[in-house]
Structure 1
Amino acid sequence: MIPVPSEKFKGPVVWVAACALIDADGRVLITQRPAGKDHAGLWEFPGGKIELGERPEETIVRELYEELSVEPCLDCLEPLTFASHAYETFQLVMPTYVCRQWDGFVRPNEGQATKWIWAEDILKLPLVPADKPLAEQLAARLPKGRRFLR
């Protein structure tokens, strides 16, 4: 079913895809929007706009490589949830995936800060509005507490 904007909403629908990379310790990678971009200084899950003819999973693979120099395993992307958020000029719809397996090491390519954080602590950070429900979903679904490698 296609989301129907409310009467207050007058802009286009923008589709983006996001991904929660989860490391071996159970921490989640989030990135901070760099200066000069909308929502600068706020934290978000990595991802980006879905291009014409592109599947959301392909967007994740492309964006994570462009932004962070990592190559997620396409078959390892697990759908988590989606968010819908009305910004002033557009309605954002964002399918979100979880990925636990990728090649490479996180290396920010766009001047953004990155942070590995426990899911329950993400909500303590200032988040991009559309990412708040995603953070809540992760906090509810991932195990609580810290796991340590032996």
Structure 2
Amino acid sequence: MTERIVVVGAALLDGGRLLAARRSAPPELAGRWELPGGKVEPGELPEAALVRELREELGVEAETVDRLPGSWPLKPPYELWVWTARLRPGSAAPQPLQDHDELRWLDPSEIWSVPWLPQDVPAVRAALAYAV
């Protein structure tokens, strides 16, 4: 059995809104929306990987809050783990620096107004419980 590789995602919350990021690459994912994040590097703690990925992808300083219960399968051997997160005081506003071409803060009533990547939908549903 192949060892699973953890991909971390951030349910980045601000005032009840959730940050969604539109993929610009690879071509098969471009135009679909996801929770920002990325792969955990060997020897890296998942929470540290998420903080690093948010810095690299969005140019923000963030902190993890709570891990959402469960995990979600991605393309093998990847598995998605999601944390709620918040911007640290004094952080820059999120910008689409890497792999994304647009960001949106979505109110709970707007969550389903964007075409999420299918593998992110269960995690977004779980994150909604924290957004209200």
Residues 12-56 of structure 1, C-alpha deviations (whole Å, 9 max, x = no match) = 633100011111x21110100004444111100000001000111
CA contact (8 A) 1:31 1:114 kept: yes
Partner of 2:9: 18
The residue identity in structure 2 corresponding to 1:83 is S
Amino-acid identity (%): 32
User: Which blocks of at least 5 consecutive residues in structure 2 are unaligned?
Assistant: none
- Number of residue pairs matched? 129
Distance 1:71 1:139 in 2: 22
Query: Once the 2 structures are TM-superposed, how far is the Cα of residue 95 of structure 1 from its aligned partner?
Result: 1.2
Query: Once the 2 structures are TM-superposed, how far is the Cα of residue 105 of structure 1 from its aligned partner?
Result: 1.4
Partner of 2:67: 79
Residues 89-144 of structure 1, C-alpha deviations (whole Å, 9 max, x = no match) = x143111111133222112212521000023432342111221101111234432x
Distance 1:141 1:105 in 2: 21
User: Which blocks of at least 5 consecutive residues in structure 1 are unaligned?
Assistant: 6-10, 144-150
TM-score normalised by the chain length of structure 2: 0.84
Q: Are residue 66 (structure 1) and residue 93 (structure 2) matched?
A: no
The alignment's C-alpha RMSD in Å is: 2.1
Aligned partner of 1:46 among 36, 53, 56: 36
Partner of 2:116: 127
Greater RCO (Cα-Cα under 8 Å, separation 6 or more): 2
The residue identity in structure 2 corresponding to 1:135 is V
Structure 1 residues 96 and 14, CA gap change in structure 2 (3 angstroms): same
Runs ≥4 residues deviating over 6 A? none
Partner of 2:17: 27
Partner of 2:79: 93
- Based on CA coordinates, which of the two structures has the bigger radius of gyration? 1
Q: Are residue 109 (structure 1) and residue 97 (structure 2) matched?
A: yes
Give 1 or 2: higher strand fraction.
2
- Aligned partner of residue 40 in structure 1, secondary structure: coil
CA contact (8 A) 1:16 1:94 kept: yes
